[in-house]
């Protein structure tokens, strides 16, 4: 119990690379900018070795460290497990933590297969009956401009959704000599751009429209089949004597989809869009207007209202930094924008609020399973001449 009487919530995090650093920033920052109903404590971080875990604990602000996720989950002072590891470990860690009575936050995509994601969703449903909650980390839902887009669509401001145009464009693999990493290994990552960043835009399309993807026709491409091995390639297979290893996932994905409301959608996910660094682009065209968003200009939402006078109609550029916009009252004055890391803080705020009230948070593991089914349908379609696959 804190000095002001709030119950304690001990956090344990598994993994401490890019996502571990982003989640640690969120756990450090949330209590300093938001009035959390629980007193969160950054209790411990687990890594592959005792040394690497302790170095991460010191650097990222965790009180303790563990050399294994199992030891972290077993700690009586850990109430919530935050999973920031490659996808091949999500199911085992999340199910063990839920069964141990720990709340779970799991990075996206939920798992590397529909089978694993189904097991996780079932475990989360069973745990919820015991008051143990689970969330999957589709953080871009918590960008204020995305929240505004969802509200406008929900309010009918753009009418019936006719088109969804969703892209997630990065270019960090454009260089053919970039080294092999776990994200390029199917056994570790499950898929490449499709599951890593395609999952985000699939979730965003469903979140903003409030609709589901009902079927897809897709294609996948691996542009570079082998890459140099480096320190970051530890544990990955090599082509004998070549100093290089095989890329066993897609470099890029493109797929068409139908939406449950009758609209049609076009998706792209690639790590080869030279010049596009983290461009999540979502445009939704409706019968009465459009909304458009680009994460590389993340504090802005563009709105087109077809009911406006034709001579003055046009996309309006809304700077989503007013105190009345979601989360913004806790940050800076209007016009002082937010960054990539703020959505992770919002994710922590909403998860802690859910734990305090016992109300299951969104996105749930069921939401994560829904995305996983779309990913699998795209892979099946691409493997079968882009034939149509229902979801």
Contact call for residue 4 and ligand SOE (CB under 6 A): no
Strand-pair partners of 217: 256
Contact call for residue 203 and ligand SOE (CB under 6 A): no
Q: From the CB of 161, what's the least distance to ligand SOE, in Å?
A: 25
Nearest by Cα to 173 from 190, 196, 140: 196
CA atoms within 13 A on the CB side of 308: 13
Sequence-ordered alpha helix ranges (H) in 131-172: 144-154
Tokens 């401001």 correspond to: 157
Residue nearest to ligand SOE (CB): 196
Of residues 260-299, which lie at the interface with ligand SOE (CB under 6 A)? 278
Both tokens of residue 303? Answer: 């709105």
CA atoms within 13 A on the CB side of 105: 30
The string of DSSP codes covering 57-108 is: HHHHT-SEEESSHHHHHH-TT--EEEE-S-GGGHHHHHHHHHHTT-EEEEES
Q: From the CB of 271, what's the least distance to ligand SOE, in Å?
A: 7
Q: From the CB of 172, what's the least distance to ligand SOE, in Å?
A: 7
Contact call for residue 252 and ligand SOE (CB under 6 A): no
DSSP state at residue 239: B
Binding mask 118-157 for ligand SOE (x = CB under 6 A): ----------------------------------------
Q: From the CB of 200, what's the least distance to ligand SOE, in Å?
A: 6
Residue closer to ligand SOE (CB basis): 66 or 196: 196
Q: Nearest 5°: phi and psi at 80? A: -140, 130
Contact call for residue 197 and ligand SOE (CB under 6 A): yes
Residue closer to ligand SOE (CB basis): 206 or 217: 206
Judged by CB under 6 A, which of 196, 211, 268, 283 binds ligand SOE?
A: 196
Nearest by Cα to 249 from 201, 193, 200: 193
Q: Residues 6 or more apart from 235 whose CB is under 8 A from it?
A: 182
Element (H, E) at 345: helix 342-357
Q: From the CB of 197, what's the least distance to ligand SOE, in Å?
A: 5
Helix 144-154 with 199-209: angle, nearest 10 deg: 40
Contact call for residue 164 and ligand SOE (CB under 6 A): no
Q: From the CB of 327, what's the least distance to ligand SOE, in Å?
A: 18
Residue closer to ligand SOE (CB basis): 190 or 263: 190
Binding mask 5-44 for ligand SOE (x = CB under 6 A): -------------x--------------------------
Residue closer to ligand SOE (CB basis): 73 or 370: 370
Q: From the CB of 343, what's the least distance to ligand SOE, in Å?
A: 9
Per rule CB under 6 A, count of chain residues that contact ligand SOE: 5
Q: From the CB of 18, what's the least distance to ligand SOE, in Å?
A: 5
Phi-psi region of 14 (alpha: psi -120 to 50; beta: other; left: phi over 0): beta
* CA–CA dist 152, 145 (Å, integer): 11
Burial environment of residue 358 by CB neighbours within 10 A (0 to 12, 13 to 18, 19 or more): exposed
Q: From the CB of 214, what's the least distance to ligand SOE, in Å?
A: 25
Q: What does the binding site for ligand SOE look like in residue numbers (CB under 6 A)?
A: 18, 170, 196-197, 278
């Amino acid at each position: 119990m804190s000095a002001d009487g709030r119950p304690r919530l001990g956090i344990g995090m598994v993994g401490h690379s890019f996502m571990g650093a982003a989640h640690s920033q969120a756990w450090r920052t949330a209590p300093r900018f938001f009035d959390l109903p629980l007193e969160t404590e950054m209790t411990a971080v687990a890594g592959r070795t005792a040394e690497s875990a302790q170095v991460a604990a010191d650097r990222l602000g965790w009180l303790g460290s563990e050399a294994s996720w199992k030891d972290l989950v077993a700690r009586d002072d850990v109430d919530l497990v935050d999973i920031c590891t490659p996808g091949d470990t999500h199911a085992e860690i999340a199910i063990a933590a839920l069964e141990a009575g720990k709340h779970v936050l799991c990075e996206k995509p939920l798992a590397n297969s529909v089978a694993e994601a189904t097991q996780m969703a079932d475990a989360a449903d069973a745990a919820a009956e015991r008051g143990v909650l689970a969330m999957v980390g589709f953080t871009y839902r918590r960008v204020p401009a995305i929240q505004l887009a969802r509200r406008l669509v929900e309010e009918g401001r753009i009418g019936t959704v006719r088109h969804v145009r969703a892209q997630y464009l990065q270019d960090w693999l454009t260089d053919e000599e970039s080294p092999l990493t776990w994200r390029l290994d199917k056994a570790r990552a499950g898929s490449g751009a499709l599951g890593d960043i395609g999952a985000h835009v699939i979730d965003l399309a469903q979140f903003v429209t409030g609709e589901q993807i009902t079927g897809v026709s897709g294609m996948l491409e691996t542009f570079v089949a082998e890459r140099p091995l480096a320190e970051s390639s530890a544990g990955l297979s090599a082509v004998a004597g070549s100093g290089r290893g095989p890329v066993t996932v897609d470099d890029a994905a493109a797929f068409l989809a139908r939406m449950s409301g009758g609209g049609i959608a076009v998706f792209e996910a690639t790590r080869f869009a030279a010049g596009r660094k983290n461009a999540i682009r979502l445009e939704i065209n409706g019968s009465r207007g459009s909304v458009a968003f680009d994460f590389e200009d993340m504090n802005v939402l563009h709105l087109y209202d077809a009911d406006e006078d034709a001579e003055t109609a046009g996309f309006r550029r809304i700077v989503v930094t007013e105190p009345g916009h979601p989360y913004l009252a806790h940050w800076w004055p209007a016009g002082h924008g937010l960054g990539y890391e703020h959505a992770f803080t919002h994710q922590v705020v909403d998860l802690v609020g859910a734990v305090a009230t016992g109300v299951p948070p969104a996105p749930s593991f069921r939401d994560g399973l829904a995305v996983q089914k779309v990913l699998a349908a795209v892979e099946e379609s691409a493997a079968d001449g882009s034939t149509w696959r229902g979801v």
